[in-house]
Amino acid sequence: MHIGAMIKYMYLWITFVISNTVKCSDLSNQGFDDISMIFIPAGSEKVNLNFNNLVSIPSGYFVNMPSLKELEITDNRLENISDFAFLNISNLTDLNLEKNYLKIIAENTLKGLVNLRDLDLSFNNIYLIEEQSFYDLSLLEELDLNKNNLHSLPYNIFNPLAYPANLKEYELHKNVLVNISAWYFADMPGLIELSLYENLVENISDYTFENNSQLRVLNLKNNQIKIIRENTLKGLVNLEDLDLSQNEIFWIQEKSFYDLGQLLNLHLDANNLSAVPYDIFNPLHYSNSISNMYFAENNIQHIFANYLVRMVKHLFLGEMGLKNISDFAFVNLTHLSGLYMRYNELTEIKKNTLKGLVNLESLDLRNCKIYAIEDQSFDDLRKIFTIGLSNNKLSAMSGNIFHPSVHPGQLTVSRDNASKATQHK
């Protein structure tokens, strides 16, 4: 055989072998700026093109890669993806395009990705997602659109006849969304975690989450919400973690949390509440335990009796300007194990201020203005282990504030610096 023909034969054989045996093609950080100049073996199942200088993806480039399942093109300079660019890689399950310069997801940008499970478009400049853009993505399980410039979402980006019933995680944080419309999540019944923090959200339409009964985590932290209406959170019967902190909430209507019978963590800290909301939980759900309730950094100066959820375990009431606590305010909180009220304006603890806290283990009253604690004030605190009282105005502490069954050895008390203050008789 002629030497030239032999070399050509060997090249074709090696190319054939490589194309059909290589499963993972790592082409990251190679300085590529034109994808059409990159050779990817046809048999590749995973392709990594991260940290290059690619600007566009033309249609037809992936035409001979039917086995491709995972494609990563992060940290490039992508500005344009041609229509139908992914049409021939219908077996793709994971597509990661984060940290590029994409601005628009057109109707046919993602056409053909009928088996896609995970789509990451985070850290781009996307301001527009056209209608029907996600029509083929009926099997999608995770969608990440965080850190873009989205002001709103179109009415029908998903196919109403083949909506993504398995979509479990949807990340929309760090955009510029102002209004959350009722249709945004209507076709996502399997949604478990929804992230909307650090937007500009001012309004959430009534019944927005009515079809999201499987949702466990809802993060709305650091927005501009002012009011939670009775039907804002309607339908969230399995919600476990609700974060509404760092908003501008000044009013929560009665019955607003009536459906939240499984709630474990409620974050309402750093808002403009002037009182603990009354009758926001369903009394039929009092058998369920809320692990943590955060009201710190509001403007609540008075805690009234019977306003607090009975089954809460840890209650955070610090940095609120709190001046007064009604007698028996905590009497129904028999499951409370941690009460944190540091940095407030409290001046005294009366005999019945902490009445009923029979399971309390930790009490934080540091950095207040307390100058007096009445006898028997801690009488019900039979299980207490830690009490923070430092940086107050106490000159002495009576030995009669504790019940006789509480032994000095089981307590850690951080006290004022006053020499006359005593831990326990």
Cβ neighbourhood burial of 49 (10 Å; 0-12, 13-18, 19+): buried
Q: CB within 8 A of 385, min separation 6: which ones?
A: 361, 362, 410, 411, 412
| pLDDT tens column, 308-358 | 767 899 999 999 999 999 999 999 899 999 999 999 999 999 999 999 999
Q: Pick from 120, 75, 57, 74: which is nearest to 93 by CA? A: 120
* pLDDT at residue 403, rounded to an integer: 66
Helix, strand or coil, per DSSP, at residue 350: coil
Each domain of the chain, given as residue ranges in start order, spans 1-125
- pTM comes to 0.90
- Name the band, by pLDDT with cuts 50, 70 and 90, for residue 288: low
pLDDT, position 4 = 56
Contact 373, 348 (CB under 8 A): yes
pLDDT band at 14 (very low <50, low <70, confident <90, very high): very low
Distance CA 335, CA 360 (A): 8
Percentage of residues of the chain with pLDDT beyond 90:
72
Range in 55-59, 244-248, 268-272, 328-332 the model is least confident about: 328-332
Residue 281 confidence (pLDDT): 83
Average pLDDT of the chain to the nearest whole number: 88
Residue 405 is predicted with a pLDDT of: 60
For range 269-290, the mean pLDDT? 80
pLDDT at 17 over 50: no
Rounded average pLDDT over 169-188: 95
DSSP assignment string, 134-156: TTT-TT--EEE--SS--S---TT
DSSP strands (E only) in 73-162:
80-81, 94-96, 104-105, 118-120, 128-129, 142-144
Q: What is the mean pLDDT of residues 276-289?
A: 71
Query: Of 142 and 154, which is predicted with more confidence?
Result: 142
Amino acid making up residue 329: A
Residue 57 pLDDT > 80, yes or no?
Answer: yes
Q: What is the pLDDT of residues 347-393, one digit of tens each?
A: 999 999 999 999 999 999 999 999 999 988 999 998 999 999 999 99
| SS3 call for 163 | coil
Look up the CATH architecture of domain 1-125.
Alpha-Beta Horseshoe (3.80)
